[in-house]
Amino acid sequence: MSIFLKSILIFGGLGLGLGILLAFINRKLAIAKNIQLEKIIEALPGSNCGACGFSSCEVYAENIADEKISIDSCLPGGKEVAHAIGEIIGKEAKLREDQIAVLVCQGGRKECSERFIYDGGTDCRQAYILHGGNKSCVFGCVGFGHCALVCPFGAIRIGENHLPIIDEKQCTGCGICVKECPKMTLKLIPRTKLVHLGCVSKDKGNTVRNVCSVGCFSCSICIKACPYDALKMENNLPLMDFSKCTDCGICVYRCPTNSFNDRANARPYAMISSLCNGCGECVKVCQFDAIEGKINERHKIIIAKCIGCGECFKICPVKAVKMAGALGHQRAA
């Protein structure tokens, strides 16, 4: 059976040769397959969302293994992943705050009229090509939901007022929507930050006023009102310095067009106890004249007017003021 023999020899030989070659090259070319890399890859969420700036988790893991990059830039993973990796490579994880994406524009279909009727492609980027969208406010969010499309965690949906609504539990702060939004109306702020400005319009005051009912027309009341001078006007918008701001909420309530967005579900209110010696310091401080009472008599708080900013609480020399309701500034939820 020469055919039988020949075919066995040739094919068997080929198989053997390839097997040996494979094994040999496998060892010679084997890159240092460090087990650490495997473990890091396992610790990463693996959704390849690109928030860490790399095309995939694997590439990010390789960079961590080569100690080229801080180990907490995996935003979706957040603290647990950072800790896990920290243990793996034995380096304390320098924690970057957990972040969350927020919409910095409140001009929906009701508040802000439309410049022209547009029935083109139903995607923000397409609408953006046509004079920046059909909203009369040039800077505002056109609301066609591109951010909802690209969010890898499905945290964004478009509300009936034609504006994106971000579900804070789902949102991991990966920042993809911020990058993808053509109008740059989404911003990443620390998850613990409650108050942020809800307007991005750099127009002059009067153009904003006749275009959007909730736009900031840079009256700068908030800047004067803020006890911690955390705000300063910059091209017609009050820029907030997060380190100074204590989320007291004064700017939110003092703003005539409530352009500020307050993420706190419930705010506390102040109560004055019997210790009050009627010195009146708190009355001077309270910007919402929510405190009434005559000198040297116990003062009283008008709960309806009190926004729970806590200024009286801080200023009261005899510590007579207590904050009640929403457990101080924490959110009720």
Partner 1 sequence: MTKSTVWIVLSLFIICLISAGLLSKVYTLTRARIELIQNEKTQLNLAKVSDDTTSTQTGTVDTIMLSCLCRVLPTSKSYIEIIKDTLWIVNDERNQKIGIVFKIAPQGYGGPIPIWVGLGTDTIIQKIFIEADELKETPGLGTQVVESSFQEQFTKRAVNELKLSQDTKGIQAITGATISSRAVVNGIRDNIKRYKKYLISDTLPKAP
Partner 2 sequence: MVTNLLLIFIAAFIVNNILLMRYIGLCPFFGVSTSFSTAFGMSSAVLFVMLLSTWVTWILYHFVLIPLDLVFLRTAVFILVIAALVQFVEMFLKKNFKPLYSAMGIYLPLITTNCAILAVTFLVIDYKYSLLQSTIFSIGTALGFGLVIILFSAIRERLEFAPISRSFKGYPIAFIAASLVALAFLGFVGLFGLTL
Partner 3 sequence: MITKQKTNRWKYLTQGIILENPILILMIGLCPTLATSTNANNALGMGIAASFVLICSNIVISAIRKFVPDSVRIPIFIIVISTFVTTVDYIMQAYTPSLHKVLGVFIPLIVVNCIILGRAEAFAYKHNIIDSFLDGLGKALGFTLIIVLMGIIREYFSKGAIFGMIIGPKALISNPMLFMIFPPGGFLLIGIFKAIINKFILNKEVVE
Q: Contact residues for partner 2 (CB under 8 A)?
A: 3, 6-7, 10-11, 14-15, 18, 21-22, 25-26, 29, 31, 55, 59, 121-123, 125-126
CB of 36 to partner 3, least distance (A): 21
**15 binding partner 3? (CB under 8 A):** yes
User: Which of 312, 328, 331, 226 is CA-nearest to residue 301?
Assistant: 312
86's tokens = 């920290």
Pick one of 12, 53, 120, 159: the residue that binds partner 1 (CB under 8 A).
12
Q: Is 150 exposed, middle or buried (0-12, 13-18, 19+ CB in 10 A)?
A: middle
The entry of partner 2, partner 3, partner 1, none near residue 296 (CB within 5 to 8 angstroms by kind) is none
Pick one of 8, 25, 266, 302: the residue that binds partner 1 (CB under 8 A).
8
Backbone phi, psi, residue 202, to 5°: -90, 10
CB of 171 to partner 2, least distance (A): 23
Interface map 132-161 toward partner 3 (x if CB under 8 A): ------------------------------
Cβ-defined contacts of 81-85 (< 8 Å, 24+): 81/43, 81/44, 81/45, 84/43, 85/40, 85/43, 85/44
Rounded-to-integer distance, Cα 84 and Cα 174, Å: 19
234's tokens = 């910059």
Rounded-to-integer distance, Cα 10 and Cα 194, Å: 74
Backbone phi, psi, residue 232, to 5°: -145, 140
CB of 65 to partner 1, least distance (A): 25
**295 binding partner 3? (CB under 8 A):** no
Query: Which of these segments, 15-23, 54-62, 149-157, 307-315, binds partner 3 (CB under 8 A)?
Result: 15-23
Total of residues contacting partner 1 (CB under 8 A)? 19
Which residues on adjacent β-strands are paired with residue 323? 270
Rounded-to-integer distance, Cα 158 and Cα 142, Å: 11
Question: For partner 1, which is the closer residue by CB, 2 or 274?
Answer: 2
**318 binding partner 1? (CB under 8 A):** no
Question: For partner 1, which is the closer residue by CB, 10 or 59?
Answer: 10
Q: What is the dihedral of CA 246, 247, 251, 252, to 10 degrees?
A: 180
Q: Which residues of the shown chain bind partner 1 in the complex (CB under 8 A)?
A: 1, 3-4, 6-8, 10-12, 14-16, 18-20, 22-23, 26-27
